[in-house]
């Protein structure tokens, strides 16, 4: 298989883009979600005090189609209303408010990176790395991807990697490649880490107890998939590398920036901050607000160590925030889609309809259909923990009746979640990655779809093997 071509590669003229701008695309998706609320019957499951779905309690709720055409109306337990056309616009600020903690985090990451760039330490550090490795992409890229993937599969890191995107784009530039190559280094590694989730707490702590299996059990099988899938991802990117050359086309093997003592102190501080970030998330249960505050503190520390004056530092921080504005807005728009479907009570209906497709099938086929269901639901609910809380209580009992163990149900969830999050336009974090690297969504899809297809086939085979092991 030949590596996917990139229209921005050297020697190729930029073709007319068929994909709309990311903002326009998200508006179209929100509009489609509003239209869906008129086509899909409304209904809901009963939920526990913890917000978990109670299996077997789905009921259809009568819907008044014309009542909300002009004035938005709120659905109740006895009558549902489709989303008003006005919701195409009103859901946007609602989505921004819902995603506000993540949006602030993204902006502050951008601000911190703006100051880091102002110090010159990152450019000097990347120069030294490229010179030390002789610009050998087959040494640098696998080493970086293994570290990133381990963070995702063992610790559940994903949004934290947004800060790495500008760094990897810069590294790709020094190695003689374009921005897509830099974004792919992070995204492929992080998404494969999430796809396999050996001990990913964000996925497993929620999903496994809901189907009655011990938390973190089955790690051996997931580790085997990690060991198999990650080399495939690395191979895919390296095989595509010749088509992703930048205009310069060759690595810069001479250091363009002096690595001063201030630079070394800044890079050490950055390394300690990353370690502190992991500690805060894993041990201190930090959320997005705490992480955002940490990046502000880090920005101040970098400015002080770098000897940047208050005015230049403030300007650099704002410039960095501005570079992340598109990513932040896209996260809010992605949240708007889920709000539209939830408020019109059609999300539960879609889930109920999908889960009914597994009844009466063989265990292997049930496991594979479950993965397909998770692929579809991931478009509507990109949140890993949120999707687990809704789908696991429903699919767990259905799987047991079909002879599918809880461990297999969780594996189908992980595979479906990881695969679709690599391509879905409703994944705010994927869009944030692409926006931070200034990579067009259509360009990303054309590049990544062959890898997703390969991994999808392997996931289906892995599920069949796991069903046999569990029998």
- 133-165 pLDDT, tens per residue? 877 888 889 988 998 898 889 877 787 788 788
pLDDT bin (cut points 50, 70, 90) of residue 379 is confident
pLDDT at 6 over 60: no
Judge whether 15 lies within some domain.
Answer: no
Three-state DSSP at 381 gives coil
Sign of the dihedral defined by the CA atoms of residues 135, 141, 146, 148, in that order: positive
Judge whether 11 lies within some domain.
Answer: no
31-46 exposure pattern, b = at least 16 Cβ within 10 A, e = fewer: eebbebbeebebbbbe
Judge whether 458 lies within some domain.
Answer: yes
pLDDT of residue 61: 92
8 A C-beta contact, residue 425 and residue 26: yes
- Token pair in block for residue 335: 């949240």
pLDDT at 110 over 90: no
8 A C-beta contact, residue 312 and residue 118: yes
- Token pair in block for residue 30: 């929100």
Mean pLDDT of 92-120: 87
Mean pLDDT of 240-265: 76
* Distance (Å, whole) CA 96 – CA 106: 13
- Token pair in block for residue 432: 């944030």
Instruction: Out of 8-17, 119-128, 281-290, pick the least confident.
Output: 8-17
pLDDT bin (cut points 50, 70, 90) of residue 282 is low
* Distance (Å, whole) CA 294 – CA 276: 9
Instruction: Count up the domains in the chain and report the number.
Output: 1
pLDDT at 423 over 90: yes
* Distance (Å, whole) CA 427 – CA 420: 9
* Distance (Å, whole) CA 95 – CA 29: 13
- Say what percent of the chain tops pLDDT 90: 30
pLDDT of residue 93: 93
pLDDT of residue 74: 82
Strand partners, 60: 43
pLDDT of residue 227: 97
Mean pLDDT of the chain: 84
C-alpha 28, offset from chain centre = 20
| Residue 356 structural domain | 22-470
pLDDT at 63 over 90: no
pLDDT of residue 10: 38
pLDDT at 106 over 80: yes
- Token pair in block for residue 195: 């796809």
Judge whether 14 lies within some domain.
Answer: no
Ramachandran angles phi, psi of 79, nearest 5°: -145, 140
pLDDT of residue 223: 94
* Distance (Å, whole) CA 378 – CA 397: 20
Owner of token pair 């994927």: 430
Judge whether 10 lies within some domain.
Answer: no
pLDDT of residue 17: 53
Mean pLDDT of 395-421: 89
pLDDT at 183 over 70: yes
8 A C-beta contact, residue 441 and residue 19: yes
């Amino acid at each position: 298989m030949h590596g996917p071509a990139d229209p921005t590669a050297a020697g190729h003229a930029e073709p007319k883009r068929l994909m709309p701008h990311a903002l326009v695309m998200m508006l179209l998706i929100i509009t489609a979600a509003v239209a869906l609320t008129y086509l899909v019957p409304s209904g809901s499951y009963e939920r526990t005090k913890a917000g978990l779905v109670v299996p077997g309690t789905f009921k259809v709720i009568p819907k008044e189609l014309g009542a909300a055409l002009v004035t938005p109306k709120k659905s109740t337990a006895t009558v549902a209303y489709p989303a008003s056309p006005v919701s195409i616009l009103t859901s946007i600020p609602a989505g921004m408010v819902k995603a506000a903690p993540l949006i602030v985090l993204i902006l502050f990451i951008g601000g911190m990176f703006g100051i880091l760039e102002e110090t010159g330490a990152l450019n000097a550090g990347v120069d030294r790395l490229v010179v030390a490795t002789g610009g050998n992409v087959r040494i640098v890229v696998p080493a970086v991807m293994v570290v990133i993937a381990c963070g995702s599969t063992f610790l559940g890191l994903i949004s934290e990697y947004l800060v790495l995107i500008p760094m990897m784009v810069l590294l790709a530039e020094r190695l003689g490649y374009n921005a897509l190559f830099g974004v792919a280094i992070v995204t492929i590694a992080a998404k494969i880490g999430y796809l396999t989730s050996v001990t990913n707490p964000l996925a497993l702590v929620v999903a496994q107890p809901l189907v009655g299996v011990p938390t973190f059990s089955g790690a051996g099988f997931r580790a085997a998939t990690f060991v198999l899938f990650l080399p495939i991802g690395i191979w895919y990117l390296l095989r595509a590398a010749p088509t992703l050359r930048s205009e310069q086309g060759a690595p810069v093997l001479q250091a363009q920036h002096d690595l001063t003592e201030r630079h070394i102190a800044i890079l050490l501080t950055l390394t300690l901050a990353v370690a502190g970030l992991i500690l805060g998330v894993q041990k201190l249960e930090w959320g997005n607000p705490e992480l955002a505050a940490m990046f502000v503190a880090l920005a101040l520390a970098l400015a002080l160590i770098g000897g940047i004056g208050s005015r230049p530092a403030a300007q650099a921080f704002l410039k960095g925030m501005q570079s992340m504005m598109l990513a932040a807005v896209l996260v809010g728009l992605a949240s708007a889609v889920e709000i539209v479907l939830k408020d019109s009570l059609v999300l539960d209906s879609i889930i109920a309809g999908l889960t009914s497709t597994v009844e009466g099938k063989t265990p292997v086929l049930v496991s594979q259909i479950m993965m397909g269901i998770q692929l579809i639901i991931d478009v509507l609910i990109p949140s890993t923990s949120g999707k687990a809380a809704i789908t696991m209580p429903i699919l767990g009992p259905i799987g047991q009746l079909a002879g599918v163990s809880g461990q297999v149900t969780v594996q189908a969830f992980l595979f479906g979640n990881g695969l679709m999050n690599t391509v879905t336009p409703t994944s705010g974090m994927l869009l944030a990655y692409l926006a931070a690297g200034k990579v067009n969504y259509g360009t990303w899809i054309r590049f990544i779809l062959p890898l997703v297809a390969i991994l999808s086939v392997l996931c289906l085979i892995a599920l069949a093997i796991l069903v046999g092991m569990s029998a």
